Amino acid sequence: MVNAIVLTEQILSFIGVYTIVTLALNIKAGHTGIPDFGHAMFFGIGGIVVGNFVAHLAAALASHVVPGVTVHGVLAQNTETLNLLNTKYFPTHPGVAIGLLIFAIVVALVLGGIVGWLASLPALRLRGEYLAILLLATAEAVRIFVTYTKQIMGSTPTVGLATPDLFAWAGNSAAAATIFTVIMAIIVYWVFERIHHSPAGRLFRAVRDDEDAAKALGRDVVVVRRDAMIIGSAVAALGGVVYALNPFLGGGAVAAVSIFNRVFWTFWPWALMILGGMASNRGVVAATALVGILLIWPIRVYKVQLAKALGASLLGLDPNSFGNALEYLLLGILIILALALKPEGIIPEPPSKTLDFRKKAEKILKEEKIEL
């Protein structure tokens, strides 16, 4: 029974975080037509907020309560300091933990939005592949900078920073983190559905479909694309927070090689968006659930076992490397099949809900007591 519960928590965690990250990409690429190949850059911001900013603030608050905890120790003695926080401080200070959780969400949204705005300044006057390459190159430059900056990721960036367990007070922190992940995914889906059917959502898609027509109607295309970048980037950073706080996803640590991984946080979301349906929020959720259960989750968690089952050792291949290659292979196959067999996606883009002008007119006439 316990194994079944843990299994369910793992799957829900994977589906939840990929729903958030893919919906964030969908508002940029699906709704507005921005080919963002640097999506992982914004996701990584959320991981840094939790592993660095929140950890430093928690250490500052706990330094007068828990012996051995210092702000300097967050980077200099990362594992020991975070272990003290997670075992001696957070379990007895639920109010502080919840406050830090809210702080992480707000800061990630703000920083993600700011970086999205900065990325939009030089980028959004470009088109097509030029814009895609610029965003990809920018994300790679940020990844390299963060990886080798000790003040951000510590002296061993490939190992990463241990993350604060902000759900330690709940008893079963893994279950609490899973519930948090699912709640965040539901909130993001609800917000993006509202955007889809709002005038702003229709304007995003109008710019995507015909920029010249939008300009002719007096719309500033650059501003519209900028707003889409800010919204999508902020939500992607929220996904990074969810990832860092969930033990089934981050494993209790964030490293530059994981939170800025292009395959995990750029190309898998692209594949899921294409499979589900561009500009279709329901399609994204359906594709994420389907692929998360059948592909992403099994490969990530059991890639070594899968490699052994497929005979990687008999071929003289390293099971871990073979498991990584298997994910790349399936990612490519998935994109090709989706484009060839169902280019519109599992659930195609739904029509926008607009006002029923006849009913609106009848209501006004009735209020004014005017008979037809």
pLDDT-derived band at 6, boundaries 50, 70, 90: confident
pLDDT recorded at residue 371: 55
In a domain, 305, yes or no: no
Q: What pLDDT is attached to residue 99? A: 97
pLDDT at 320: 73
> What is the per-residue pLDDT across 237-264, written as a single tens digit (0 to 9) for each?
999 999 999 999 999 999 998 999 998 9
Residue 287 CB-half CA count within 13 A? 33
Q: Sign of torsion, CA 26 28 31 34?
A: negative
Model confidence at 27: pLDDT above 60: yes
More confident residue, 314 or 161: 161
Kindly state whether residue 205 falls inside one of the protein's structural domains. yes
Are 178 and 9 spatial neighbours (Cβ–Cβ below 8 Å)?
Answer: yes
Q: Is 253 helix (H, G, I), strand (E, B) or coil?
A: strand
Q: What is the pLDDT of residue 358?
A: 67
Predicted local confidence at residue 300, as pLDDT: 77
In a domain, 73, yes or no: yes
**pLDDT of 367:** 72
pLDDT tens track for 141-151 = 999 999 888 89
In a domain, 183, yes or no: yes
pLDDT at 162: 94
C-alpha triplet 231, 234, 237: angle, nearest 5°: 150
* Mean pLDDT of the 7-19 span: 94
Amino acid at residue number 120: S
Q: What is the pLDDT of residue 1?
A: 46
**C-beta separation of 95 from 169 below 8 A:** no
Give the model confidence (pLDDT) of 136-178 as tens digits.
Answer: 999 999 999 998 888 998 877 667 899 999 999 998 999 999 9
Instruction: Show the domain range for 199.
Output: 8-261
Is 266 within the bounds of a domain? no
Query: Is position 270 within any domain?
Result: no
**Is pLDDT above 70 for 64?**
yes
Domain assignment of residue 121, yes or no: yes
Q: What is the full DSSP assignment across 86-114?
A: IIIIGGG-HHHHHHHHHHHHHHHHHHHHH
Question: How many domains, in total, are found in the chain?
Answer: 1
Distance CA 162, CA 337 (A): 39
Query: What's residue 85's pLDDT?
Result: 96
Measured CA to CA, the distance from residue 176 to residue 141 in angstroms comes to 35
Residue 20 lies in a domain: yes
* pTM exceeds 0.85: yes
- Cα gap 284→347, rounded to integer Å: 8
- The per-residue pLDDT for 173 is 94
User: What was the pLDDT predicted at 356?
Assistant: 60
